[in-house]
Amino acid sequence: MRVLESRIDTGSARYAENRIAYEALLSTLGERQQWAIEGGAGRARSIERHLSRGKILVRDRIDLVIDDGTPFLELSTLAGYGQYDDGAPGAGIVTGIGLVHGVPYVFVANDATVKGGSLLPVSIKKHVRAQDIALENELGVIYLVDSGGAFLPLQDDIFPDKDHFGGSFYRQARLSARGLPQLSVVLGGCTAGGAYVPALSDEVIMVDGIGRIFLGGPPIVKAALGEIIEPDDLGGAVLHTHTSGVSDYLADAEREAYGKLREICATTNQRRITDRQGWASFVAPEPPAFDPAEIYGIVSADDRIPFEANEIIARLVDGSRFSPFKPEWGESIVCGFARVWGHLVGVIANDGIIFSESALKATHFIELCEQRRVPLLFLQNTSGYMVGRDSEAGGIAKNGAKMVSAVANATVPKYTVLTGGSYGAGNYGMCGRGFNPRFLFAWPNSRIATMASETAQTVLVDIRLAGMKGQETTEEQVAALRAEVAEQYDTQSDPYYATSRLWDDGLIDPIDTRDALGLCLGIAARQDEPAPGPGLVYRM
């Protein structure tokens, strides 16, 4: 494969301006992530109380479980950001992927310093998303349970619906049935629904003095039966390990429990991250020839100024080597083969608006990757499909639909990174959330909406004015309408609005993208070949 050339002048004023603007974005990201880790009203007091009980903080717990010196890919750190009166940092739950004896596991760990680890609607969404990742990528799940269960004031948004609390238990039972280990360490209260996380696990460790499991806590038991009983006598670690058998192992302290958990993991007989299967093409990895940190100076500070897809690809893929497909045709989409951490991928990256030719080229390329069993990597940066008389007459609706259909039906692993705009049906054709990429990461400069704010202002104001037929409107009224729409679109297309609602699996620093994708591709490469689709290639 040929090494891509770069036309970036790292000494130019524009590069310097972009870089300064990007560094500001990263500092905001860092501050907000730190807020998720330790911020929020009353959180300092709550963290202090947690520590004073001799309990370990949630991220330190995970560190004690995973292999020394290995990273943890934390997902959706900013879930819940800006919601619930800023009262749910990180949604009170940490999810992600870490290695135990070289085997990747999904972690679902409650953060008891946020609302007692109880689950708000967005926490359930995060919990369920982690389980869906486990199912598709065939990973065991480690639950570090320290939770007050359903966040009771919002019980109608948590309890009854398909992907609510019940859906998480449904998933847990089915994951176990698929042979994917479900392992729990109980480090706090597991009341009512919360009791089913350990109860549905394959193996359970309870930590004496802090872990408790009961279907009804002491107040309920008193009200219902008149029994007055201490929490440990009702559902403590000794009772459940010695008498009820709800728990399999008793640990005197947290650290002992994590040692036992690692011992259990050594017996689960799961594939390691290095156990690659024959279908996944792999060679020794090499770093990109261009410094990934140059992405900061390439991404335009002004999102109306485009930046080239090839410049981004050159800073993500091994050796900056890229074999482009149909480079002279449908140029607003760049397609081609490359490697990320040694894994062969088919890259599809936007270079502007999607025209009919670019849509057809992408469709053809998806079919090639599907036939050759090559995972797909989508780099989204588009304002969507081209509109207008010529475009419609050229059949953009049906050509765009071919691309959407090819993406929906591709059975190879798919990964998406929002490197810029994700607007309109461009979000669909480029494998947005609705098209089930295995992972979807977004950069802090990204934007996601049905259309760009300026376009929405024109469209919505026109619609509103048409609805006010016959009424006099002043310029001020029109300006006020525009401002109202701008406010809505600017707020809702903000990447923090998106990540708060789990429209992605997390905002990441561009320079971490390659490592995150490398882990995700490695996880898929240890699985058997995904069952192929029809495997036809129609020349478009």
Nearer to ligand COA, 49 or 178 (CB): 49
CB of 189 to ligand COA, least distance (A): 3
40 binds ligand COA (CB under 6 A): no
Q: Which region among 67-75, 191-199, 355-363, 509-517 touches ligand COA (by CB under 6 A)?
A: 191-199
Burial class (CB in 10 A: 0-12, 13-18, 19+), 139: buried
CB of 51 to ligand COA, least distance (A): 12
306-to-10, 299, 313, 364 alpha-carbon distances in Å:
17, 8, 15, 25
Tokens matching residue 351: 């270079």
Residues of this chain, 307-366, that bind ligand COA according to CB under 6 A: none
CB of 45 to ligand COA, least distance (A): 8
Applying CB under 6 A, what is the total number of residues that bind ligand COA?
15
113 binds ligand COA (CB under 6 A): no
Q: Which of 16, 20, 44, 152 binds ligand COA (CB under 6 A)?
A: 152
Q: Beta partners for 338?
A: 345
Q: Which region among 77-85, 143-151, 346-354, 370-378 touches ligand COA (by CB under 6 A)?
A: 143-151
Q: Please report, as a single letter, which amino acid is at residue 59.
A: R
Q: Which residue has the tokens 């004015």?
A: 465
CA–CA distance, 376 with 380 (Å, rounded to integer)? 12
The values of phi and psi at residue 190, to 5°, are: -130, 90
CA–CA distance, 376 with 355 (Å, rounded to integer)? 20
Q: Minimal CA–CA distance to 377: which of 332, 421, 407? A: 407
Q: Beta partners for 442?
A: 418, 507
CA dihedral 71, 172, 127, 152 (to 10 degrees): -140
CA–CA distance, 68 with 73 (Å, rounded to integer)? 14
Q: Which of 40, 90, 98, 189 binds ligand COA (CB under 6 A)?
A: 189
217 binds ligand COA (CB under 6 A): yes
The values of phi and psi at residue 224, to 5°, are: -80, -40
CB of 157 to ligand COA, least distance (A): 12
Query: Which residues, 6+ apart, have CB-to-CB distance to 242 below 8 Å?
Result: 250
Q: Which of 148, 292, 424, 432 binds ligand COA (CB under 6 A)?
A: 148
Kindly write out the interface string for residues 58-97 of this chain, putting x where it contacts ligand COA by CB under 6 A and - elsewhere: ----------------------------------------
116 binds ligand COA (CB under 6 A): yes
Nearer to ligand COA, 115 or 414 (CB): 115
408-to-80, 428, 430 alpha-carbon distances in Å:
29, 9, 10
Residue-wise DSSP of 120-161: -HHHHHHHHHHHHHHHHHT-EEEEEEEE--B-GGGGGGTSSS
Kindly write out the interface string for residues 367-406 of this chain, putting x where it contacts ligand COA by CB under 6 A and - elsewhere: ----------------------------------------
CB of 64 to ligand COA, least distance (A): 21
SS3 content of the chain, % helix, strand, coil (to 5): 45, 20, 35
Q: Which of 57, 192, 273, 465 binds ligand COA (CB under 6 A)?
A: 192
215 binds ligand COA (CB under 6 A): no
Determine the 3-state secondary structure of 528 from DSSP: coil
CB of 158 to ligand COA, least distance (A): 9
Contact 376, 412 (CB under 8 A): yes
Nearer to ligand COA, 112 or 404 (CB): 112
Residues of this chain, 41-60, that bind ligand COA according to CB under 6 A: 42
426 binds ligand COA (CB under 6 A): no
Query: Which residues, 6+ apart, have CB-to-CB distance to 277 below 8 Å?
Result: 525, 526, 527, 528, 529
Q: Which of 19, 115, 164, 260 binds ligand COA (CB under 6 A)?
A: 115
- Using only the alpha carbons of the chain, give its radius of gyration: 25
CB of 143 to ligand COA, least distance (A): 15
Q: Which region among 124-132, 148-156, 260-268, 398-406 touches ligand COA (by CB under 6 A)?
A: 148-156
104 binds ligand COA (CB under 6 A): no
Task: Give the start-end residues of each E strand in 140-236.
Answer: 140-147, 182-191, 203-207, 212-214
Q: Which of 90, 98, 149, 510 binds ligand COA (CB under 6 A)?
A: 149
Q: Which region among 173-181, 186-194, 366-374, 434-442 touches ligand COA (by CB under 6 A)?
A: 186-194
Q: Which region among 61-69, 114-122, 365-373, 378-386 touches ligand COA (by CB under 6 A)?
A: 114-122
Nearer to ligand COA, 152 or 223 (CB): 152
Q: Which region among 27-35, 175-183, 184-192, 375-383 touches ligand COA (by CB under 6 A)?
A: 184-192
| Chain positions contacting ligand COA, by CB under 6 A | 42, 115-116, 118, 148-152, 189, 191-194, 217
